[in-house]
Structure formats: structure tokens, C-alpha cells
Structure 1
């Protein structure tokens, strides 16, 4: 099961990287088109779609790598059962919020599909298409939070210290 979950997180991160490359392509296309006086409609909209997709799809991988911002001022002062209890409470609250976020993201995408919502930009893209990446990213994030909560409850969660947080400046 661990390998399967890690594969999901890694696959979402790989998709995020592909969307980041797509974002780069859209920005470069926009710059080149201005330099050579031709216009490619929708480049700004697609750059925005790709940026949102890369951000949402990278959330779970970032969480599992310990790179999300955590305010540990209070929790680092606690020891033993108190610390573990606060960790479980925080992960439980985060899991609930992630599940709600995932539910409403999937619902938004489905409603956009059902109502045939299209972008108001010049590209007129059906909105459910870019919203799928948001929905997928939030579902994978909810799975990652459930995973972290279960690991914490079972006493198997290993907190990762990101390199940036270890630097003293």
C-alpha cells in the first residue's frame, strides 16, 4: 500500500511538472508572438490554467516531503502525549478541511461540465477541463492528509525537516 500511495503522490508531482513546462511554453509563446507581431489567442488564459494545475497537483507531494509551512513554535515546546495529541488534532482538522476542499472542487468541476460553463476569455475553454486538475490535486491532497493522520495515530509518522528550515541566517 505504501508504494501505491507514494506512486500516486509522485505521479501528481510529475503532472505538476508537466503543467509547469506548459506554463513556460505559454509564456514564451506570448513573448515571441509580441516580438514578431502576431497574436495567439488564449495564451494568458492557458498560462493561468497551467499555473493553477501545477500548484494544485504539487500539494500532496509537497506535504509528504515536509515542505508545507508549519508553525511549530507551540508544538515544539510540548513533549510526550501532549505533543502527539496536538499533532493528531492538527492532522485531523487538516484532513477534514482537505476532504471538504476536495469535495467542493470535484463538485465545481462536475457542475461546470453539467452547465456547460465556458471561460469568458477569448479562448472560450469549457471550464471543467482546467478544473479537473484542481479537483484531482485536492483529492490527492486529501488522501495524503488521511495517510499522514493514520501514520501519526499508528506511531509511524516520520517528520521530515526540510533543508530550508534548518538553515540559520
Structure 2
């Protein structure tokens, strides 16, 4: 049951990342149209918010899909019994580092909200809004690392796919 919830959560993060990419495009188009009509609009901060949210919401989704850059130069040449240990160590290290980052980014967002920090631009957006998107995205990546770590500890093979292998499995049309 929890597996299905986690997979839906990772998928939702991917859709949110895509929606924020569309938001970047809309912010830019709005600014262009405004300038063409003689209205000065500053969409830089809105586009920046969308960029931060899109980047960090996409992390967990791309990790689960095997789309993160992974250098297998050394791991692929290790004996099979060592390879598992290296995979475990990598997931443990990733879980610790990303969890540490998630904790501090969430703390920063809470502090920004507490002190009413706002951006210095025309929009004067509260800083906690984009920081909250970053915090949720990094937390989702931490959850994905911890999820994978427990899977490996339980004896499973790593579940993140290599996109090249997935591509090869498709039938030729």
C-alpha cells in the first residue's frame, strides 16, 4: 500500500515540475506581451519562483526514473558482491546529505515566514513561498533516497532504471 502512495507522490512531483515549467513560459510570454502593449511587467521573480519549484519538484521523479546523471565507470567494473555494497553506501550517503539539506531548507523557509522576508523587486514576493517549494522538492528526494535505501537493505536490486536500457527494451515499430 505504501509503495503505491510513494509512486503516486513521485509522479505528482513530476507533474508539478512540468506545471512550473509551463509557468516559466507563461511568465515570459506575459512579460513580452506587456512590453508590446507598452506596459512594463517584471516577471523575473515569478519565473524564478517557477524555476526553483520546477527544479526541486523534479528531483525525486527523475531519481525514480533513472534520469539523474550516474557515473557507472567504477561501479560497473566492480565484482557483483562489491557492487551491492557500493550501491548501499551511495544510497545511504545520498539519504544523509539530502535529508540534511531538506532540514535546513525547510528551516530557512520557516524563518523567512517568521521574519516576513520579501524579495526586493517590484513583485515583493514573500521569500518563504519559493523556499517552501524547494523544501518540499528536496524532502521528496530525501524520501526517494530513504525508500531506495530500505529497498536495498531488504535485499532488493536497485530500482532506478537506466534510461538506455529502457530504450532498448522497446519494440521497434
What corresponds to 1:29 in structure 2? 30
1:39 counterpart residue number: 40
Question: Gaps spanning 5+ residues in structure 1: where?
Answer: none
Instruction: Say whether the 8 Å CA contact 2:148–2:159 is kept in structure 1.
Output: no
Tell me how far 1:80 sits from its aligned partner: 2.1
**Cα distance between partner residues in 1 of 2:16 and 2:165:** 24
Consecutive unaligned residues of structure 2, counting only runs of 5 or more, are 169-173
Taking structure 2 as the reference length, the TM-score comes to 0.90
2:135 counterpart residue number: 135
User: Is residue 31–residue 41 contact of structure 2 (8 Å, CA) maintained in 1?
Assistant: yes
Alpha carbons of 1:22 and 1:159: their partners in 2 closer, same or farther (altered >3 Å)?
A: closer
- The CA distance in 2 between the partners of 1:75 and 1:149, in whole Å, is 17
Query: Who is 2:116 aligned against?
Result: 116
DSSP-derived class of the 2:16 partner: helix
How far is 1:39 from its partner?
1.3
TM-score (norm 1): 0.93
Q: Alignment partner of 1:58: what SS?
A: helix
CA contact (8 A) 2:59 2:141 kept: yes
Cα distance, 1:137 vs. partner? 0.2
In 2, Cα distance between equivalents of 1:48 and 1:159: 30
Q: In structure 2, what is the Cα distance between the partners aligned to 1:131 and 1:53?
A: 8
Which deviations, in whole Å up to 9, do the C-alpha atoms of 1:120-157 show, x marking residues without a partner? 11111111111110010011110000011111222323
Shift of 1:18: 1.4
